[in-house]
Amino acid sequence: QANGLFASRLARLWQDIHMGSLLFLSPLWPMALAYPKLLEELELRVIHKGHSSVAVEKELFGVNLLELCLALAEFWRLPIWVTRGYKLLINERRDLAEALRIAREDNSPLQQQQLMDDDPNLRRWLNQPANTVLLGNGLALAAQQAWNSPHCLRWERLTSLYLQQSMSEVQQQAHQNAASSARIHAEKDLWHPAESLIWPWDARRVRRDNEPAPPPSADAL
C-alpha cells in the first residue's frame, strides 16, 4: 500500500518507502515463526472479539508489542523510517489524535485546510515523509479485518489528509493496490484482503474460534 499510494508522489524517496514498508513488521517475524499460535490468538481476541489490545498483549507476551518492536528495530538498526513509525505510535499519540480529528472532516476539504493552516507544527509533523511507511502498513493491516472497519477508515482518512486527496480517491487506489498485490502474491492457504472486495460491503471474515494458545515459558522468552 505504501508503494502504491506514495512512491509516485515522492519519487526520489521510493527506495526508502519500499524498504521501510517491507521491514516495518520484521520485528514480529521471529515471533510469528516461533509462536504462531500466540499471534493467531492475539488476532482472534483483539480484532475479531474486540478485547483490549493492552490487556491481551500483556497476558500473552508479558510486554507491549509496540515497545518490543521498537526495541528490536533499534537493536537491529533498521531504517529510521521504521523506528519513526513505532515512536509515533508510542510517544506521539496526542498529535496522532489531533490529526485524526481533522482527518474526520473529510467532507469539507476547505475546513481541513484551514485547520491545518492554523496549526503549522501539526502540519509539519504529519507531512514527514517517514510517515508514509506507517500509513501504508496501518491501512494494510486494518484491511485484514474489513475495508469499512473503523480502523481501516481511520488510516484511509489520515492518508487522505496526508495526500490532500478525497477519501474516494484514496479508497479507489487502496483497493487497486490490494488487487494488484493479490494477483502477484496470492497463496491458496493464505487470506488476502483483496478477496473481500467482491463481498457485500458490510460482510466480515469469520474466523473459526481456536483454543487459547499457552503463553511461552520464562525460559523461552
Mean pLDDT by 10 residues, the chain (221 residues): 78 87 94 91 85 91 94 96 96 95 90 93 95 94 88 94 93 91 80 83 65 54 53
Q: What pLDDT score was predicted for residue 220?
A: 55
Half-sphere exposure of 171 (CA within 13 A, CB side): 13
- For residue 195, what is its C-alpha cell? 478477496
Q: What pLDDT score was predicted for residue 210?
A: 46
Half-sphere exposure of 135 (CA within 13 A, CB side): 27
Q: What pLDDT score was predicted for residue 198?
A: 82
